[in-house]
């Protein structure tokens, strides 16, 4: 159960990353200058999702869960920070 919750959260994070990539393609901000960075990001996201599924099917559920945590923990902390910035409305001056 814990694996699928983390996998679903990581899938949402990957979908957000893919959405930003597609929006960048639409407004032409993804160019040949930053295309390798985007490619690395998308390969990393796909690698975490696909690799965790492969590890779990090979009989290594704890390693697969650890791989999912590599993406889930920073995304969760960033989401909490964003939520705090919206709710607390800090003064930046």
Tens of pLDDT along the chain (93 residues) come to 899 999 999 999 999 999 999 999 999 999 999 999 999 999 999 999 999 999 999 999 999 999 999 999 999 999 999 999 999 999 887
| Any domain includes 28 | yes
C-beta atoms surrounding 50 within 10 Å: 10
Of 63, 64, 36, the residue nearest 50 (C-alpha): 64
| DSSP class of 93 | -
The answer to whether residue 53 is domain-embedded is yes
Tell me how many degrees the CA angle 9-87-20 measures, rounded to the nearest 5.
45
Query: Does a structural domain hold residue 70?
Result: yes
Q: Is 22 inside any structural domain?
A: yes
The reply to whether 93 falls in a domain is: no
Quick check: is 45 in a domain? Answer: yes
Query: What's the domain count of the chain?
Result: 1
pTM strictly above 0.85: yes
């Amino acid at each position: 159960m814990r694996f699928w919750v983390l996998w679903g959260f990581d899938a949402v994070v990957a979908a957000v990353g893919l959405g930003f990539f597609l929006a960048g393609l639409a407004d032409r901000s993804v160019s040949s200058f930053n295309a390798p960075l985007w490619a690395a990001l998308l390969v990393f996201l796909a690698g975490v999702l696909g690799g965790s599924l492969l590890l779990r099917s090979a009989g290594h559920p704890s390693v697969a869960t650890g791989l999912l945590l590599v993406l889930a923990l920073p995304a969760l902390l960033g989401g909490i920070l964003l939520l705090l910035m919206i709710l607390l409305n800090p003064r930046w001056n």
